[in-house]
Amino acid sequence: MHAEEWLAQERRLMEQDRSQWVSPKIRELTIAAMFDQDKTVEQYGKQWIKQRNLKPKTVAHYSGLLDRNITPKLGVIPIRQLNAATVRNWYSTTLTDKPVMRSHAYQLLHAICKTAVSDELLDRNPCMIAGAASAKTSRKAVVPTIAELAIMAEKIEPKFKAYILISAWCGVRFSEMVELRRKDISEGCEVIEIHRNAPHITKNQAAAQGIPFCQVGTTKTNEKRESIVPPHIRDDIQHHLDTYAEPGDEGRLFVPVRGGCHVVEKVVRDAFRSACADAGVNGMRIHDMRHFAGHQTARVANLPETMKRLGHSTSTASLRYQGEVSGRDVEIADALSALAKVPELPDDSTEAEVVKALEKQGLS
């Protein structure tokens, strides 16, 4: 009976004006499109985040930016009414004391509006502030010398010495480091396979998304990479495996003392700061170890090789695919060890002084 009533109603609509009649499916899509046009910046932004294939930590980051920095001033504005003047006023008063987070918030709003243009809700993207997407920060990474790095490795708690060495000489990120297992280290500690990471989000963010706060997944670039270990640190890594790592192929390299899924950054950070103080290095953060790795690798490798070793990605496809030199990974690792054996010389050293220092170490 319901079906007959529905069919009778459709026939009446057709008889009233057959030229204007459209199928129920098209009417449904039209109503949905009208609803999208009435969505506010907040509603459309939440939909934008939900529809993307993002990692949980990225979802948490974007949701936080939307809720804390975009919604309070722009959230109630219909997305189709957002204009350049409104965006400029919002940007001029948002996160002015936090340039990195400010650029992140602007980038998110720009991406949301770009999709709104594709959805024909906006004629053009209202985010047109030159340079706003670039983070401007006054802080520079603190990069220790090779000698200072060696002191840090010796002074840190013995169970974290391997962390210092792997992070500094192989450029492994913290979230990748805590997820390393025995099976990821080759025999003789010659190669480290990096294809997982374990970022943690806050418990509030986890509760809001209904997911665990620990998210084991692929690397930041979603690609597996192998890092050839410089020979001069292989014995230290082997000692760590023999002394501190869990047994078995799935045994964690770094074991949390009080239980839990992984070693937390605060524990490592406290030990790291103490080691920095012993080495006379001030203001260095854990992430600055990546800068040390980048600096040293760049001294012995070309740009594509450096990007490959450190797991960097770029929007320029040519930098990803050109210039790969087969077999150079081993040479790079050997050259990094050679750097550790060479005494650091003043920048104004003569060529003869450099040659003499190399010859003392048996290097040509």
Per-residue confidence (pLDDT) for residue 85, from 0 to 100: 94
Residue 234 to residue 240: CA distance in whole angstroms: 10
Same domain for 134 and 150?
Answer: no
**Tens digit of pLDDT for each residue in 269-300?**
999 999 999 999 999 999 889 888 888 887 77
Q: Is 262 a catalytic residue?
A: no
Residue pair 177/185 in contact by the 8 Å Cβ criterion: no
Residue 21 to residue 346: CA distance in whole angstroms: 84
Name the catalytic one among 110, 182, 312, 320.
312
With tokens 């023999």, the residue in question is 242
Same domain for 66 and 183?
Answer: no
Name the catalytic one among 2, 18, 139, 321.
321
Q: How many domains does the chain have?
A: 2
Q: Is 106 a catalytic residue?
A: no
Domain with residue 201: its CATH number is: 1.10.443.10
Given 114, 138, 162, the domain boundary residue is 138
Domain with residue 62: its CATH number is: 1.10.150.130
Given 138, 161, 195, the domain boundary residue is 138
232 found inside a domain: yes
- How many other β-carbons are positioned within 10 Å of the β-carbon of residue 248? 10
Helix (H) or strand (E) holding 226: strand 225-228
Same domain for 178 and 319?
Answer: yes
pLDDT-derived band of residue 29, with 50, 70 and 90 as boundaries? low
Name the catalytic one among 61, 102, 104, 173.
173
Given 138, 160, 178, the domain boundary residue is 138
> Average pLDDT of 199-222?
76
**Tens digit of pLDDT for each residue in 86-110?**
999 999 999 988 888 999 999 999 9
Name the catalytic one among 290, 291, 309, 328.
290
Q: Is 173 a catalytic residue?
A: yes
Q: Is 312 a catalytic residue?
A: yes
Same domain for 308 and 343?
Answer: yes
pTM comes to 0.66
Q: Which domain range does residue 312 map to?
A: 146-360
Cα torsion at 297, 302, 306, 308 (round to 10°)?
A: -140
User: Which of 136-145, 157-166, 309-318 tops mean pLDDT?
Assistant: 157-166
Q: Is 27 a catalytic residue?
A: no
Closest to 265 (Cα-Cα) out of 254, 275, 276 = 254
- Provide the CB-side half-sphere exposure for 274 (13 A, CA): 13
Same domain for 30 and 48?
Answer: yes
